[in-house]
């Protein structure tokens, strides 16, 4: 079992990182949460974003064209691996924003893989996807 402080540290890392792009674009701070060799799989780009620069550019692109009105994370879960040096984080999200004059709301799922290096948790991998429609 992992200490409550480790769980709170990871929760804080994820929430602070998300604030860097949902409340206002803070690229310098956002970069601090991303591992240099990070990868991301996103529904709006083919293949994957590879490396911190590509990862940051992907989020910058969205932050520059969207006005975010609301961001909500729920059901955040953390699973530790490799003797506590890595963790998988999952949650559901809802985001409301305006893009090209069109109001939009998206519900989805996020899954992160984090590693602890030099006393800090860094995002190494991220996959997000829209919540599938129920048929």
Q: Are 102 and 123 in contact (CB under 8 A)?
A: no
d(CA 135, CA 130): 15
Per-residue pLDDT of the chain (135 residues; tens, 9 = 90+): 457 888 999 999 999 999 999 998 999 999 999 999 999 998 777 788 999 999 999 999 999 999 999 999 999 999 999 988 999 999 999 999 999 999 999 999 999 999 999 999 999 999 988 887 766
102-117 sheet: strands from edge to edge: 49-50, 34-41, 120-130, 102-117, 86-99, 66-81
Kindly state the greatest CA–CA separation across the chain: 48
d(CA 114, CA 92): 17
Q: Are 122 and 36 in contact (CB under 8 A)?
A: no
Task: Scan for tokens 């109001």, then name that residue.
Answer: 103
Could you tell me the domains of the chain? 4-130 (3.10.450.50)
d(CA 66, CA 121): 28
The structure tokens listed for 75 are: 């059901």
């Amino acid at each position: 079992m992992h200490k409550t402080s480790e769980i709170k540290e990871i929760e804080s890392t994820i929430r602070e990182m998300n604030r860097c792009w949902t409340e206002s674009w803070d690229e310098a701070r956002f970069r601090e949460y991303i591992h240099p060799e990070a990868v991301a799989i996103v529904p709006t780009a083919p293949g994957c974003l590879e490396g911190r620069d590509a990862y940051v550019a992907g989020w910058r692109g969205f932050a520059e064209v969207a006005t975010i009105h609301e961001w909500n994370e729920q059901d955040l879960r953390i699973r530790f691996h490799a003797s506590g040096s890595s963790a998988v984080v999952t949650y559901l999200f809802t985001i409301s924003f305006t893009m090209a004059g069109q109001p939009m709301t998206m519900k989805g799922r996020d899954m992160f893989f984090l590693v602890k290096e030099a006393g800090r948790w860094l995002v190494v991998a991220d996959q997000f996807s829209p919540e599938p429609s129920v048929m």
